[in-house]
Amino acid sequence: MRMTSDGIFIIDNPGPADSASLDCELSSSFRVLQRDLEEMRSLNSLLKKENLNLREQLTARNGGRLVRPSCDAEFARALKVFYHSMTSVRAQLQRLRRHRPSEESDLLGLRFFVDEQGRLLRDFSEQLEECVSKLKQDVAAIVRRKRERSEIYL
């Protein structure tokens, strides 16, 4: 590619001499890329074999069982689920706090409000209990697995 003194590129069809040198450069670059690709494939194959080997060793070391995440990781995951569910429980509590009867309510309107408030409290209570119960179950399962693992290594 040529450029004028004004900085304009001149795109021209390469002549026979230019074409031959360009083909030679491209061919050389192509061979280098092919060699790199073959090296990468070979390396990838070796890494896959090593990965498979390491997995087999790890499985054999753990008595043929798949390796589970650590108890700390499981506990952190259980807490994360608990905190996410508590966010919706907190939102329900905020709704309960803001829920007020209409100032113009008559006796029927107040009864409706009390019924609605009772339903909201039951929903809140059930969801809160469900969150805490799920956390208790998760923690109990983690503790049970930790005890089983510690007995294996004794």
Do 53 and 76 belong together in one domain? no
Give pLDDT tens digits for 14-25. Answer: 555 566 666 777
- Helices 107-152, 71-98: inter-axial angle, 10-degree rounding: 170
Give pLDDT tens digits for 75-120. Answer: 898 999 999 999 989 998 998 888 888 888 788 888 888 999 999 9
Span 135-149, average pLDDT: 89
Q: Which residues contact 130 (CB under 8 A, 6 or more apart)?
A: 85
pLDDT at 146 over 80: yes
Q: State the DSSP code for 101.
A: -
What is the 3-state secondary structure of 73-99? HHHHHHHHHHHHHHHHHHHHHHHHHHC
Name the residue among 145, 152, 154 with its Cα closest to residue 69.
145
Dist. CA 119–CA 111, nearest whole Å: 12
C-alpha distances in angstroms, 72 versus 65, 67, 75, 80, 112?
19, 14, 5, 12, 48
pTM of the shown model = 0.48
Domain with 34 in it: 2-61
Do 43 and 84 belong together in one domain? no
Do 57 and 88 belong together in one domain? no
Last residue of a domain, one of 13, 38, 61: 61
Span 4-8, average pLDDT: 75
- Is 66 within the bounds of a domain? no
